[in-house]
Amino acid sequence: MANARVAEHKPSETGAALLTVLLLVAVIAVLAATALERLRIAIKLGGNAVALDQARAFAEAGEALAINRISDLLGRDATRVSLAGGWSDTPIPLPVTGGIATLRITDGGNCFNLNGLVTKQSDGRYVANPDAATQFANLIRLVGAPARSPEGIAAAATDWIDSDTQALSGGAEDGGYAGLETPYRTANTLMTDPSELRAVMGVTPEIYAALRPWLCALPVAEPTMPNVNTVLPEQAPLLAVLMPGAPNVAAVRSALLSRPVTGYDDTSKFWQSSAFGAAGNYGDATQKSAVTTKWFALRTDVTVNGTDLQQNSLIDASTLPARLVSRQWGEVS
């Protein structure tokens, strides 16, 4: 009878097999952990996307409510808009599922319209508006922007928008930007956002930061007509630059503080205020200002399911019913 031979395993072979098994277990564990982490991130991203879509939907619902309120406001008296009734910048809470939305409506025309630096011709070309450039230069001075040449910035901003390629005195066209480290060209069309001013020759971050609260880029090539009934006392420079000669901010602020609660029904009554003296020098400021409002700004803040959204909308109320012109998300830059 043959003797049975028992297989013998060397200790080194046993250790190698165990090490291989442990290595496989470790690899599988890492792969499983990675897959679970990716799944967790995907679920989180999906949830965020749903919450963001909900927030935007609620913000759009807020727009509809605001447009109705603006239409009602102008429907009562389209010839005069004042701060009476406390509609301006008053938080309007709008409860929504899983959170809350807050609306704030303000006069969107009480600003300096950068696109008013040009006028549109019958053939579609944009040409410089010297009067608006003078107002812009004065505004730069009044708000304390650290500019060496306010007139130069006003000219360069005009060149950025106008259709020609001939630089104004102190301004800059394509040739002025071609020599920069990163060269670029002028837009030669209306600005879509005030942040475009940062690309204009001579505008530093400090200058832009000082000017930003006073600026807007309305989709029309015409200066805004600030509403003497809704301009706040701290916004007095917007009206002061409409005066001929040296702007008198103190007089404008005093006139704003003494206006009736329901405002004026005619701009001349504001400019004839005793704050400007017995013989106030207001020139044609009565034609450059208004007692009603054509543009409204809406800020909507939505918090829903842990997601925060800020939406800024521009509403055109030149004809009723008012209509949405544009919207953007995030902090104003």
> What is the residue extent of each domain of the chain?
44-108+294-330, 112-287
At residue 125 the predicted structure's pLDDT band, cuts being 50, 70 and 90, is very high
Residue 265 CB neighbours (<10 A): 14
Identical fold, 44-108+294-330 and 112-287: no
Summarised one tens digit per residue, pLDDT across range 25-66 is 888 888 888 888 887 887 766 666 777 888 899 999 999 999
The three state secondary structure string of 249-318 is HHHHHHHHHCCCCCCCCCHHHHHCCHHHCCCCCCCCHHHHCECCCCEEEEEEEEEECCEEEEEEEEEECC
The overall average pLDDT reported for the chain is 90
Answer yes or no: is pLDDT of 1 > 70: no
Answer yes or no: is pLDDT of 156 > 70: yes
| Gyration radius of the chain over CA positions | 31
Query: Can you give the pLDDT at residue 18?
Result: 78
At residue 3 the predicted structure's pLDDT band, cuts being 50, 70 and 90, is low
Residue closest to 322 by CA, chosen among 313, 312, 332, 309:
313
User: Are 300 and 102 in contact, with CB atoms under 8 Å apart?
Assistant: yes
Summarised one tens digit per residue, pLDDT across range 65-89 is 999 999 999 988 888 999 999 999 9
Answer yes or no: is pLDDT of 9 > 60: no
Higher pLDDT, 328 or 9: 328
How far, rounded to the nearest angstrom, does the alpha carbon of residue 213 sit from its chain's CA centroid? 9
Query: Can you give the pLDDT at residue 126?
Result: 97
CATH superfamily of this structure's domain 44-108+294-330: GSPII I/J protein-like (3.30.1300.30)
Structure tokens at 242: 């409409």
Answer yes or no: is pLDDT of 8 > 60: no
Most confident of 144-148, 218-222, 279-283: 218-222
Query: Can you give the pLDDT at residue 332?
Result: 72
CATH superfamily of this structure's domain 112-287: EpsJ-like (1.10.40.60)
End-to-end, the C-alpha distance of the chain in Å comes to 96
Q: b vs e for 229-254, b when ≥16 Cβ sit within 10 Å of the residue's Cβ? A: bbbeeebbbbbbbbbeeebbbebbbb
Higher pLDDT, 160 or 23: 160
Least confident of 39-43, 105-109, 252-256: 39-43
The three state secondary structure string of the chain is CCCCCCCCCCHHHHHHHHHHHHHHHHHHHHHHHHHHHHHHHHHHHHHHHHHHHHHHHHHHHHHHHHHHHHHHHHHHCCCCCCCCCCCECCCEEEEECCEEEEEEEEECCCCEEHHHHEEECCCCCEEECHHHHHHHHHHHHHCCCCCCCHHHHHHHHHHHHCCCCCCCCCCCCHHHHHCCCCCCCCCCCCCCCHHHHHHCCCCCHHHHHHHHHHEECCCCCCCCCCECCCCCHHHHHHHHCCCCCCCCHHHHHHHHHCCCCCCCCCHHHHHCCHHHCCCCCCCCHHHHCECCCCEEEEEEEEEECCEEEEEEEEEECCCCCCEEEEEEECCCC
% residues pLDDT > 70 (the chain): 93
User: Are 201 and 175 in contact, with CB atoms under 8 Å apart?
Assistant: no
CB neighbour list of residue 272: distance below 8 Å, 6 or more residues apart: 280, 282
pTM of the model: 0.84
